[in-house]
Chain A
């Protein structure tokens, strides 16, 4: 405005003056008018809208198939369980002789040679002769698709939510955060020169030429010329002298006599002066449990049903599943505070398997009735977790060793239950220079039956059978992926300094304007305001290295198909055997009191490891063939004769008690072959 006029109120002019209302007419003329608009046409891109909705959605739906590889080589006992004639009494059992024990598709059991009158009435083929019946735990306790109404396994969707430190070495002051333990030094000869090699307790995650720091090693050189605490070394090569064990051994160009391994020696990988961090990831469930009608936990968050025509090579039925519950990952962050990029399809063995309406359950509960309260009412032990570490008595968490008395006192992840919401998971390495996590060791769960685990307490003549089943519970689902490059470092501090910004909100605003994400890592000391990070690739964007994820988006949700294989394997399959020969004397001229040779002989015949027997004197076999003679050897009542009974003793890597069945690594044809025609 060109001129400013002040209009004072009267009252401000003189004391007696009063304010008055004045009305003044002012004409305000408008000399312009809005320009008429043309028609506005806008094209809406369906693709762009789809992409927009897809980017905004954080809802995931999971469905898929599980192909199981499951069998029961670790059965409770080679018996057939049936109802007592007097139904008031507990169920009874009949021993199945070794010659009648068969393996079908990996399952150990017998072919029914008796008509089941009860089953016959229902005319459902269950009464058929020669039906294969696995020993307990059988189909109803192990298969993914379980017809008894109590699921044998529970599925969950989990994500890593926090880190945990563990002591991998027994009685060591160093923990996983101090690096990967080194348990052994060896010397390797390459091109006529000696190098030192080291074996680690778990996978080291190293590659050739990686830079490592050797921590707490013994420097044998005068004046510590190796300077182990000051300098880093390059990995010269992976593997041992025979190029094996590449994940657990590595070679360094140091004179072997100059260095030794101490009890707490560890290594850390170094990338651009940044040492890696090592820790255990813990997983949290995004789904919840309920209690089933027949007891035990079950999940109502998903449906499970047989996959059409789906069977594995071993005739295990493939199970399909569909999570009814949508998983929303909005606001969730992983163990490093980043947006979730990985979820895990988690399978947990359900240990609630004692349906008392089942004859088999009644039988085992009856057998276990003398055990302490925490055991007697269960069929399965509590779940224990660990890793596939090196076999060394000083290494904790060796899942294969659990139950071996030599390893008593070692630490494991214990008391795991399928209803838990959090689980200890894998061992990973994270390096701030790379901003990436790498899985070094997968976690394994281990279960055994209560009967096998406490057999000695149930029957003092038998030793405990401590070999259990192990399985890998976590299968990774990649829902997002970080870019394969690290963003250029953004230095907010230099701008703060330049403009002397002190307000925290302004600093936050500054971070936003530079698109520094919440999960960015501060370079240097905390508060340095210098950031680096990896961008999250949008869903559907695949970079030049093939990184990125792509999956269907429909109905406002991302659909993830999970095609999983579930391997329920032996804890320590024995790969060696020796043949044991026992001497037995039978006949009517036994000493008084009877030596019980007959009972012992029948016991050997019923032992799953029984191979054959032979007469000590071959002439006995030719002459004594009458009734009550050797043709009916179990009831033999002739003159005393001596037998040699041969049994196989299967030997595993760990002392886990008697093994009834050989590992798949043994060529059974060397021992014994049977034909089903012998039975049916």
Chain B
């Protein structure tokens, strides 16, 4: 605002000029109790209430490694152990040379165990454990799934009899409960929080899977890795852990435009031949995960 300013001495106003401003106030003691009750307390209560956390879990279905994340209705898990004779010779080697399953004789089962489905056989299982990161010193277990030994078409001959124990593959087939009703469904789906996946960057949420075989025959728990690149005489923590370790297999959960999927995402070591993860094999083979025993 423009003001025409001029300096005039106070004396020019005239002597004895006084201005009386009367500011009267009847004070009475007050406090802020109403404000406190009606606003402060309510605001503080509101701030103290935890936000609602969504505990809704939904089904994630497996998909292949194609860019379009095609759903798969079943996949196979192979376990490959060190050959007993190689362990005895103190030069442990895995069975075969490719991404193939071992046989039940490798882990001390007999034909009778398989034929008669003895307790030691049917109570043996693999445990799929999912962690939040691939470092065992500081990761947290998120969820698990147990899959018990199977005597399915892979373990039988053309007449429906179990194969000999030195030919009977340690394989598990997991299938969709609707599309593959005759397969085992435990472990096929991952159940996880929808909210966490929806709010993750790119709606992709990462977790890391390990696999153990629990042998009810000898009470031993075998750790396996999705890579054959193992030197049993010189295993370091760096070989096993981290994004590039062989022990943890990365699993990505994704909200694919409203369809919730997951896929196994191998690192370089897990991808190199023979691959531990092969989700798009030549037809008619099934998408396959192969795990090799780490320590004899």
Give me the interface of A with B, judged by CB distance under 8 Å: 1-3, 5, 7, 18-22, 24, 26, 28, 30-32, 34-35, 37, 40, 42, 44, 49, 53, 61, 121-124, 145-149, 290, 293, 300-301, 303-306, 322, 324-325, 554-557
Contact = CB atoms under 8 A, between A and B. Distances in A.
B52 interface: yes
A322 B179 contact: no
Given A290-B258, A555-B53, A44 B48 contact: yes
B156 interface: yes
A324 B194 contact: yes
B31 A34 contact: yes
Contact of A31 (B22, B27, B32, B49): B27
A44 B45 contact: yes
B59 interface: yes
Contacts of B2: none
B138 interface: no
Nearest to A36: B31
A122 B284 CA distance: 12
A301 B180 CA distance: 21
Contacts of B21: 5, 24, 26
B187 to A, nearest CB: 14
Interface in B245-269: 258-260
Contact of A35 (B31, B41, B45, B58): B31
B153 A123 contact: yes
Contacts of A37: 31-33, 36
Interface string B146-160: 000000010010101
Interface string B39-83: 001001100110011111011000000000011010000000000
A40 B31 contact: no
B219 interface: no
B283 to A, nearest CB: 14
Interface of B: 3-6, 8, 10, 13, 19-24, 27-33, 36, 41, 44-45, 48-49, 52-56, 58-59, 70-71, 73, 153, 156, 158, 160, 177-182, 194, 258-260
Nearest to A30: B27
Contact residues of B: prevailing secondary structure: loop
Given A40-B36, A146-B178, A325-B258, 17 more contacts: A2-B24, A18-B4, A18-B8, A20-B8, A22-B13, A28-B23, A32-B30, A40-B41, A61-B56, A145-B178, A147-B180, A293-B71, A300-B259, A306-B178, A324-B194, A555-B53, A555-B55
Contacts of A305: 59, 177-178
A370 B199 CA distance: 53
Contacts of A61: 56
Contacts of A293: 70-71
Contact of A5 (B20, B30, B70): B20
A147 B56 contact: no
A123 B160 contact: yes
Nearest to B60: A303
A26 B258 CA distance: 71
Give the top 10 A-B pairs by smallest Cβ distance, nearest first: A556-B52, A32-B27, A555-B54, A35-B31, A555-B55, A300-B258, A303-B59, A305-B177, A20-B8, A123-B153
A195 to B, nearest CB: 58
A556 B56 CA distance: 10
A88 B5 CA distance: 106
Contacts of A26: 21, 23
Given A24-B21, A49-B49, A123 B158 contact: yes
A290 B258 CA distance: 10
Contacts of A20: 6, 8, 13
Contact of B178 (A7, A22, A147): A147
Contacts of A306: 177-178, 181
19 contacts: A1-B22, A2-B22, A3-B22, A5-B20, A19-B3, A19-B4, A20-B8, A31-B27, A32-B28, A32-B29, A37-B36, A44-B48, A121-B158, A123-B160, A293-B70, A304-B178, A305-B178, A554-B55, A557-B56
Nearest to B58: A324
A387 to B, nearest CB: 33
A44 B42 CA distance: 10
Given A5-B22, A26-B23, A31-B27, A149 B55 contact: no
A268 B48 CA distance: 58
Contacts of B160: 123
Contacts of B180: 147
A305 B194 CA distance: 18
Contact of B182 (A19, A40, A124, A300): A124
Question: Which of the listed residues A31, A53, A324 has the most CB atoms from chain B within 10 Å of its own CB?
Answer: A324
Given A1-B24, A20-B13, A555-B52, A324 B45 contact: no
A205 B205 CA distance: 55
A46 to B, nearest CB: 10
Contact of A556 (B10, B54, B181): B54
A124 B153 contact: yes
A114 to B, nearest CB: 19
Contacts of B179: 147-149
Nearest to A325: B258
A53 B52 contact: yes
A322 B58 contact: yes
Nearest to A34: B31
Contacts of B156: 123
A18 B22 contact: no
A382 B49 CA distance: 53
A535 to B, nearest CB: 26
A555 to B, nearest CB: 5
B70 to A, nearest CB: 8
A558 to B, nearest CB: 12
A401 to B, nearest CB: 36
A372 to B, nearest CB: 34
A30 B27 CA distance: 8
A557 B23 CA distance: 59
Nearest to A146: B178
B19 A24 contact: yes
A20 B177 CA distance: 92
Nearest to A61: B56
Contacts of A42: 41, 44-45
Contact of A303 (B48, B58, B182): B58
Given A2-B22, A147-B180, A44 B153 contact: no
